[in-house]
Amino acid sequence: MSVVSIGRPTRPEAPAQDGVPETHGRGLLQHEPLIFELGGWDKTGVDFPADEVAASLDVSDLAGLTRETPLELPGLSEPETLRLSQQNHAIDLALYPLGSCTMKHNPRLGEKMARLPGFIDIHPLQPVSTVQGALALMDELAHWLKTLTGMPAVALSPKAGAHGELCGLLAIRAAHEARGAARKTVLVPTSAHGTNPATAALAGYQVEEIAQTADGHVDIADLARRLNDDVAAVMVTNPNTCGLFERDVIEIARLTHAVGAYFYCDGANFNAIVGRVRPGDLGVDAMHINLHKTFSTPHGGGGPGAGPVVLSAALAPFAPAPWLSHGEAGFSLIEHAEGAAGEAFGRMCAFHGQMGMYVRAVTYMMSHGSDGLRQVAEDAVLNANYIKARLSGAMSAAYPDGPCMHEALFDDRWLEGTGVTTLDFAKGMIDAGFHPMTMYFPLVVHGAMLIEPTETESRRELDRFCDTLLELAAAVKAGDTERFTGAPFHAPLRRLDETQAARRPRLSWTA
C-alpha cells in the first residue's frame, strides 16, 4: 500500500471495474463535463453593445504590445454555466464534522449584508470621507474582538489564519529587533497544526518542537528545558489540536515571559471559549482569530478567510499598516508604516484586509450578542462531549479522562486487527451520507479521527450522526471489512488515485 509520511494511504485498493459510460448521470446526479468539453471556443456568454464593440476595434496605439496568439478559452451561455456542480458535500446537507475546521452553519444574513452596495461596491482607495461607514464597521469589529479577547489592540488586515500567524510572528520579530536582540528560535508543540512551524520558518525562525504529555497537553518540563534567551516566541494552540484546554496555560505564559520571549496563541479554536475565557487573561501576547471559524464566515470551498490578530500592549506598537485613527473629522486610515508610526513592521497585503468577511463577522457577532456568543462556546463544547460520551463505548477516545472542549479525538486502537484503517472508516462514512471527520491529524495520535460537531447541530442530528457511526463501528467489528476497504461505493466517484496524480501531474486541461 502506498502511504504518505503520516501513514495515510494514497492509492485505492479496489481493482478497476467496468462501469457505466462516463457520460451517464445517475438519478439526480448529473454528468458534469469540464467547460473545455462543451465547445464554445469562439463564443461568449456576455453580451456587449455592438456600437461599443465596433468603436473599440482600433488598438493601433498598442502596436507590438498585444497578444501574439489569441486567448483560447471557451465561453458559455448562462444556461450552460448554471449546470455547475452538485458534487460537493456541504454543511447545508448534513453535519460536517471536520475537526479543527469548525464547519458550522453560515447565517445567510451575512451574505445579504455583505452585498449591500455600500459595502461590496466601494473602492479601497476612494476618499476616506466617502467610506466612513466602512471604517466604522472595521472599528466595530475591532471593538468586539478586543473585548472578547481582553486584548488592547488588533491588526485586522491578515487574510487568513496562517496569514494572521505570520502577522503575529512578524510583530514579535519587530519587538525583539527593536530591543536590539534578534532571537533565533520559535518553540512549537508536536501536536501543532502544520501552519505553525511553516509560519515560524517563513518568519525566519528555526523551529524546535515541544514534547507532549501522555494526556495530550504541553509538557511543561520540556518547555522549561528548551526556553532560553534565544527563544523569540512560544506558539501554542489553545484549546489545542487534541481538543483540550491547556490547563497550564498561565504557567506557559509565565515561563515564556521569564526568558523575554513572547507567547503566541493560535486562536483557531477560539470558538470553544468565546465569551467564557479572555486570552488576554491568560498572558497571551498575540493571537489570530479565524473569522471563518469562530464567527462563521463561509468557508467557500477553501477561503476566503480572514485572520485578524489581537496584540498585547507590548506588541501593539509594531502592528502593520493600515490601521484606524479616530478624530474630530471622523475616522481616518493610517496607511504608511513609516513616519507617524515608526515601529510598525510593514504591511501584510495591498489594501485593508477582508472587508467582505468583516461585514459577515460583525453581522454574526451582533446577531448573537455577548450572551449568544457565550452560548456558542457552551453548546460547541457540550455537543463534542456528547459525541465523545456516545461513541466511546465503540471507538477508542484518545484522551478518555476528563472533558474535551469543542472537538472529540479518537485514535485507531479500536480498529486494530480489523483490517480497516482510519481512512477506510472515513470513506465508509461517506457512503452513510456524512463528511468524514479530520483524519490523521493531530500527528501525535495514531490514526487520529478528530470530530468537531459545532454548536449549530440539533440534538436530533447529533443522534443521527452517533447512531450512524455506532452502526458503522459494529459493522467493522463484525468483519464486514469490504464495506470499508472498497468505500466509498455511493459517492459520485470511487476512491481516487493520489499517487498517480502526484507522479504524473496533470494540472490543467489539454485537448
Binding to other proteins in span 266-305, by CB under 8 A: 273, 275-278, 281-282, 290, 292, 298-305
Which CB sits closer to other proteins, 96 or 414?
A: 96
Per CB under 8 A, which region of 63-71, 223-231, 309-317, 470-478 contacts other proteins?
63-71
- Residues in 394-453 at the binding interface with other proteins, rule: CB under 8 A: 402-403, 405, 426-427, 430, 435-436, 438, 441
Residue with cell 477506510: 424
Count, residues near other proteins per rule CB under 8 A: 219
- Residues in 80-139 at the binding interface with other proteins, rule: CB under 8 A: 81-82, 84-93, 96, 98, 101, 103, 105-107, 109, 111-113, 115-127, 129-134, 136-137
DSSP-derived secondary structure for 175-229: HHHHTT----EEEEETTS-THHHHHHHHTT-EEEEEPB-TTSSB-HHHHHHH--T
- Residues in 207-246 at the binding interface with other proteins, rule: CB under 8 A: 207, 244-246
Q: Angle at Cα 484 formed by Cα 481 and Cα 488, nearest 5°?
A: 150
Q: In this structure, what are the phi and psi dihedrals at residue 414, rounded to the nearest 5 degrees?
A: -70, -15
Q: How far is the CB of 383 from other proteins (least distance, A)?
A: 8
Q: How far apart are CA 359 and CA 365, in angstroms?
A: 10
Q: By CB under 8 A, is residue 166 in contact with other proteins? A: yes
Which CB sits closer to other proteins, 45 or 478?
A: 45
- For the chain, how far is it from start to end, CA to CA, in angstroms? 33
Q: How far is the CB of 333 from other proteins (least distance, A)?
A: 10
Q: How far is the CB of 445 from other proteins (least distance, A)?
A: 15
Neighbours of 202 (CB within 10 A): 14
Do 246 and 238 touch, CB atoms closer than 8 A?
A: yes
Q: By CB under 8 A, is residue 181 in contact with other proteins? A: no
Residue with cell 532560553: 228
What is the phi-psi region of residue 100: left when phi exceeds 0, alpha when psi lies from -120 to 50, beta otherwise? Answer: left
Q: Is 110 helix (H, G, I), strand (E, B) or coil?
A: helix
Q: How far is the CB of 274 from other proteins (least distance, A)?
A: 9
Report the residue from 1, 27, 28, 34 that binds other proteins according to the rule CB under 8 A: 34
Q: By CB under 8 A, is residue 264 in contact with other proteins? A: no
Convert residues 2-31 into a mask of x (bound to other proteins by CB under 8 A) and - (unbound): --xxx-----xxxxxxxx--x---------
Neighbours of 107 (CB within 10 A): 18
- Residues in 64-83 at the binding interface with other proteins, rule: CB under 8 A: 64-76, 78, 81-82
What is the phi-psi region of residue 417: left when phi exceeds 0, alpha when psi lies from -120 to 50, beta otherwise? Answer: left
Q: By CB under 8 A, is residue 507 in contact with other proteins? A: yes
